[in-house]
Structure formats: structure tokens, C-alpha cells
Amino acid sequence: MKGSGKARVSQLVAVSMMLGIAGPALAQDTSWAVGTWKGRVEGSREQDPNRVMTIAIAGGIAKCGWGEGFRANPPPAKSCTVSATGMTLTTGANNQVELRRSGSTLSGTFTATSGGGRTYNLTMKKE
């Protein structure tokens, strides 16, 4: 049959797209995140609501530091994931940080594991 090969290819492409089977994923640009970020946990009653976060990326893997105050070398975070649009982080005390990128600012939330798991607004700016 004439044209049946093209129809078959179109069907396979359509099925692949519906199943989420595609070619290799495009690498995300995470270079925007590299550096030192400083911010403040809004509404927190902690002694020092200021926070510092450092991000380095090597071989596509993010390594982050997170600390109270504006320390030069904050301790390592338990986990850290950076994407083209934002990042998530678990602190050494198991607090959760979720931030979305907007230019040179990150905005989102800091959820404390102690004190009933309260969530606070957090904004950070790149140094």
C-alpha cells in the first residue's frame, strides 16, 4: 500500500509522545545557581533568621551548603537539587527549602522540622 510507511511512522511517533518515550532529555542549564546566596527566613523567631547557601556544580551534580547567619563556609546540606527554574534542599537539621528562580533572586519557602513543621517565606539574593 502506498503511504502506509508514513502512516506507521506517524502512529509510532504519536504513541511514543503519549507514553512519554522521547529522545534523550536536553541538559538543563544550572550554571545560574553557582555561587553564594544570602537571605532571611521571614517571621522566624530564631535568634538569627539570616541564611547563607552556597552552590557548586561538578559533573552535573549539585553540592550545596546551608547555614544560619552569613558564614563564609556553611555546613553541607543533606541533599540538594538544582533545575533550570529553581532548587530544593534538605538542611543538616532536615528542614526543607524550596525556591523558584526569578532573575538573580530565589523566592520560596523554608519548612522547619521542629516546632510543628511551620513554613516561612524565604527570599535569597545572589552575592
User: Any alpha helices (H) in the chain, and if so which ranges?
Assistant: 4-19
Separate counts of helices (H) and strands (E) for the chain:
1, 8
Consecutive 10-residue runs of the chain (127 residues): their mean pLDDT?
49 41 57 96 87 95 94 93 97 96 95 88 96
Let me know: does 112 contact 96? Beta carbons within 8 Å.
no
This prediction has a pTM of 0.76
Q: Report pLDDT for 76.
A: 97
Task: At 38, list the grid cell.
Answer: 544570602
